[in-house]
Chains A and B, each alone.
Chain A
Amino acid sequence: MHMESRELFLHGSRVPDTGPDGELMTLNMGPQHPSTHGVLRLELKTDGEEVAHIRPHIGYLHRCFEKYCEKLTPPQIVPYTDRMDYLGSMNNNLGWAVACERMMGLEVPEKVEYMRVIVAELNRIASHLVAIGTFGLDMGALTPYFYCFRDREMILDIFEEICGARLLYNYIWVGGLSHDFLEDTDDKILRFCDHFEKRIDNELNPLLTFNKIFVNRSANVGVMTPEQAWSWGVSGPSLRGSGVDFDLRRDDPYSIYDRFQWKVCVGEGLMGAVGDCWDRHWVKVLEMKESVKIIRQAVASRPKEGDVKEKVPARVKLPAGEIYCRTETPRGELGYYIVSNGGNQPERVKVRPPAFCNLSVIDEISRGALIGDVVAILGSLDIVLGEIDR
């Protein structure tokens, strides 16, 4: 390695090494650390247990998604989108499909729209369950994690039945879906909804959300103001945790979200300041309940007749032009910037991953926090390194 860049790699460039009380210690959290939710390296400048600065180093999971996109046709790209945010694959598929369909001016059948909403919301619940479970785990609460995974398992079973995969679905195609629901899928989904709503109120909230130690650990920690959130491009539950009433499903509608009765949940500072870690957690809990509402309505009113593949074009060709299309994934605003010259492959695809922007704010909101707080803040931001590094 060149001497200069070696120096840069080890010590970073612009973070001061001294604090008010003398020299700061550099502590590398990651790339192998149990609480970085993947291969992330946080360079902490610490003064005892107190953290003065954080510099995130990302890219360990960089798999050249954008480079691949320039060599593949839009339907071939769908499985690659799975691998970005691997906890919310359905939502990633959906974002890509919506972007391509908008460019092509493709109308998808009613039935497909309803089914897309159902699987996207189910996946949102599954993703939030992982986020909540690991957030508890970061603070040493072991049991909620297993309860969350047990409930997530039911969703994965449903997905396995309808598309054969449990994590990377490749389910939502440009113009349609890969498979229709089975005969009893609707019943299974409704059974899950009944089961799950009770679990939130009877298990998750008493055990984790309102646990005194959990509240003490997360309230008033990592407070993010709405101004900071907007400036750093924070989106999704992290943005709403700061009390901002903004959700792309309602405010920049796509698919058929405007047909359902549900509300956008925001953090209200029930346990401390608005925008703390507890609020971000609480928004996710509430959102899961809202998702259940949407799923119930969609299952009840969805058309059952028709083929889910009838509008899938034999050859997907994006017309020349460019689009920036965004959808709400479990982590926030997933944007696809697609430039096409009318050829088979896109000219350039840039992804705006929600977790990428959400992570970038961490230095700002964890100044003066303790090491234990940094772990909590990172957990509450709910990052997936797969989509940060792409």
Chain B
Amino acid sequence: MDFLMGNIWLWGPITAVVIAAVITVNALVSVYLERKVSAWMQNRLGPMENGPQGIFQTLIDAVKLILKEDIIARGIDRPLFKMAPYIVFGASFAVFAVTPLAEGVSPADLDVGVFYVLAISSFVAVGIMMAGWSSNNKWSLYGALRGVAQAVSYEVPLSLAVLTVVMAAGSMSLQTVCVEQGGGFWNWNGLALHKNPFLVGSFLIYFIASLAEVNRTPFDLPEAESELVGGYHTEYSGMRFALFFLAEYANMLAAGILASVLFLGGWQPLLPALDFVPGPLWLFGKAYFFVVLQIWIRMTLPRLRVDQLMYVCWKVLVPGALAMLVLGGLWQLMIKG
């Protein structure tokens, strides 16, 4: 095992393949979940035809998407247009590299894990801008501009909320953040009122900001299908569109994983007595809880308008996150000393 872990040339590709598989399977599962959960909420059945309860429907859709013609319209900036999906997908892909799966087990345990996640996920905005600009379509451009403005703005409250956790844990390593929260759910950052009550506020702010980061309702303005047709990926088809799609669902999962690691103990079991259940199950269970929560919110709320989006970010979330940071820091200094 040590030999394996120590050899980056062996370990690296294996991890990459595993993560790619996880992302693909996650997209299938999440799309199915989204269709089923939304159907139940809306008095519908959702997919029913292929397989029991239609479980193969998304697989078939994926095959269809791959087999579709890759249309590149005239007037498109080809190199950028072709590159954009890979950048978006690559960024979402790379985030998973630091996921702590269990005690001492993570694909890469970086000392600056939190920083790495925030930095690498910003690349999505670059890809979105490239896609929107190169498409030579005004709707795509609108989507891209909205997407970039949104990603850049919401990164601020998101990072500030994460900083509160980093301050409480005293480390930027996601593994350490997880270890810190051991001993039962009352020690999880998002629930631990006795540890640092301001983390609960940060949790809320983090969750709202992460919705905007992954372009989910009520912050799905970059693709707002009833306003912008399809937003930045209007002109994409076939495999390239599938990559955007994969990235979107990977982002949802990544946001869920990060939320569970930072605020709900990551791989930590609910109660110490339940630690016979493997850590990855806990982690993914919690992450999918957040995915379902995102779906639920999407089915409940309408979409914000552009100016309201910015209002929420700069006038509500940023001051709130700053207050949590300062108060949380003071608490850390005064009470825990």
A137 near B: Cβ within 8 Å?
yes
A375 touches B226 (CB 8 A): yes
A49 touches B142 (CB 8 A): yes
Question: A140 to chain B: closest CB distance in Å?
Answer: 3
Q: Mark A118-150, 1 if CB is under 8 A from B, else 0.
A: 000000000000000000111111110011001
Q: Mark A205-247, 1 if CB is under 8 A from B, else 0.
A: 0011001011011000000000000000000000000000000
B262 near A: Cβ within 8 Å?
no
Q: Which residues of A contact B298 (CB under 8 A)?
A: 142
B304 touches A150 (CB 8 A): no
**Pick from B42, B138, B304: contact of A217, CB under 8 Å:** B304
With A146-B42, A147-B43, A370-B307 known as contacts, the answer to whether A141 contacts B225 (CB < 8 A) is no
Q: Which residues of B are interface residues toward A (Cβ below 8 A)?
A: 38, 41-44, 138-139, 142, 217-218, 220-221, 224-229, 298-308
Give me 19 A-to-B residue pairs in the complex whose CB atoms sit less than 8 angstroms apart, sorted by A's number.
A33-B229, A35-B227, A49-B306, A138-B226, A139-B302, A140-B217, A140-B302, A143-B41, A150-B43, A208-B302, A213-B218, A214-B302, A217-B303, A217-B305, A372-B227, A372-B303, A372-B305, A372-B306, A375-B226
B229 touches A371 (CB 8 A): no
B305 touches A216 (CB 8 A): yes
Among A25, A143, A216, A373, the most chain B Cβ lie within 10 Å of the Cβ of: A143
4 closest cross-chain pairs (CB), A and B = A140-B303, A146-B42, A141-B302, A139-B302
A372 and B302 CA atoms in complex are apart in Å by: 12
Question: A143 to chain B: closest CB distance in Å?
Answer: 5
Interface residues of A in 339-390 (CB under 8 A from B): 370-373, 375
A136 and B301 CA atoms in complex are apart in Å by: 10
Which partner residue on chain A sits nearest B220 by CB separation? A140
Q: Mark A188-208, 1 if CB is under 8 A from B, else 0.
A: 000000000000000000011
B308 touches A216 (CB 8 A): yes
Q: Which residues of A contact B307 (CB under 8 A)?
A: 370
B305 touches A143 (CB 8 A): no
A372 and B308 CA atoms in complex are apart in Å by: 11
Among A136, A137, A139, the most chain B Cβ lie within 10 Å of the Cβ of: A139
A-B contact count (CB 8 A): 78
Q: Which residues of B contact A211 (CB under 8 A)?
A: 301-302
With A146-B42, A150-B43, A372-B227 known as contacts, the answer to whether A213 contacts B301 (CB < 8 A) is yes
Q: Which residues of A are interface residues toward B (Cβ below 8 A)?
A: 25, 27, 33-35, 49, 136-143, 146-147, 150, 207-208, 211, 213-214, 216-217, 370-373, 375
With A141-B302, A373-B305 known as contacts, the answer to whether A25 contacts B138 (CB < 8 A) is yes
Q: Which residues of B contact A217 (CB under 8 A)?
A: 302-305, 308
With A34-B225, A34-B229 known as contacts, the answer to whether A136 contacts B302 (CB < 8 A) is yes
Which partner residue on chain A sits nearest B298 by CB separation? A142
B42 touches A139 (CB 8 A): no
A25 and B142 CA atoms in complex are apart in Å by: 12
Q: Which residues of A contact B221 (CB under 8 A)?
A: 372
Q: Which residues of A contact B44 (CB under 8 A)?
A: 146
A207 touches B303 (CB 8 A): no
A93 and B50 CA atoms in complex are apart in Å by: 43
Q: Which residues of A contact B139 (CB under 8 A)?
A: 27
With A137-B226, A142-B298, A216-B308 known as contacts, the answer to whether A27 contacts B138 (CB < 8 A) is yes
Question: B95 to chain A: closest CB distance in Å?
Answer: 26
Which partner residue on chain B sits nearest A213 by CB separation? B302
Question: B251 to chain A: closest CB distance in Å?
Answer: 19
Q: Which residues of A contact B226 (CB under 8 A)?
A: 34-35, 137-140, 375
Question: B21 to chain A: closest CB distance in Å?
Answer: 31
Q: Which residues of A contact B301 (CB under 8 A)?
A: 140-141, 211, 213
A139 and B228 CA atoms in complex are apart in Å by: 12
**Pick from A49, A147, A213, A373: contact of B303, CB under 8 Å:** A213
Question: B22 to chain A: closest CB distance in Å?
Answer: 28
A213 and B217 CA atoms in complex are apart in Å by: 11
4 further A-B contacts with Cβ under 8 Å, apart from A140-B301, A141-B303, A150-B43, are A27-B138, A142-B42, A216-B305, A371-B306
Question: B140 to chain A: closest CB distance in Å?
Answer: 12
A55 and B307 CA atoms in complex are apart in Å by: 24
Q: Which residues of A contact B304 (CB under 8 A)?
A: 213, 216-217
Question: B298 to chain A: closest CB distance in Å?
Answer: 7
Question: B229 to chain A: closest CB distance in Å?
Answer: 6
A119 and B325 CA atoms in complex are apart in Å by: 62
Q: Which residues of B contact A33 (CB under 8 A)?
A: 229
With A217-B305, A370-B307 known as contacts, the answer to whether A140 contacts B224 (CB < 8 A) is yes
Which partner residue on chain B sits nearest A146 by CB separation? B42
A181 and B300 CA atoms in complex are apart in Å by: 39
Among A371, A372, A373, A375, the most chain B Cβ lie within 10 Å of the Cβ of: A372
Which partner residue on chain A sits nearest B217 by CB separation? A140
B142 touches A371 (CB 8 A): yes
With A27-B138, A146-B42 known as contacts, the answer to whether A207 contacts B300 (CB < 8 A) is yes
A217 and B44 CA atoms in complex are apart in Å by: 27
Which partner residue on chain B sits nearest A137 by CB separation? B226
A87 and B197 CA atoms in complex are apart in Å by: 54
Question: B228 to chain A: closest CB distance in Å?
Answer: 8
Question: B149 to chain A: closest CB distance in Å?
Answer: 10
A375 touches B227 (CB 8 A): yes
Question: A199 to chain B: closest CB distance in Å?
Answer: 11
A373 and B306 CA atoms in complex are apart in Å by: 10
Q: Which residues of A contact B217 (CB under 8 A)?
A: 140
Q: Which residues of A contact B225 (CB under 8 A)?
A: 34
Q: Which residues of A contact B227 (CB under 8 A)?
A: 35, 371-372, 375
With A371-B227, A372-B306, A375-B227 known as contacts, the answer to whether A140 contacts B42 (CB < 8 A) is no
Q: Which residues of A contact B220 (CB under 8 A)?
A: 140
Q: Which residues of B contact A142 (CB under 8 A)?
A: 38, 42, 298-299
A35 and B303 CA atoms in complex are apart in Å by: 14
B300 touches A372 (CB 8 A): no
Among B42, B226, B300, the most chain A Cβ lie within 10 Å of the Cβ of: B226
Question: A101 to chain B: closest CB distance in Å?
Answer: 41
Q: Which residues of B contact A136 (CB under 8 A)?
A: 302
A3 and B227 CA atoms in complex are apart in Å by: 32
Which partner residue on chain B sits nearest A373 by CB separation? B305
A143 and B308 CA atoms in complex are apart in Å by: 22
B218 touches A140 (CB 8 A): yes
Which partner residue on chain A sits nearest B230 by CB separation? A34
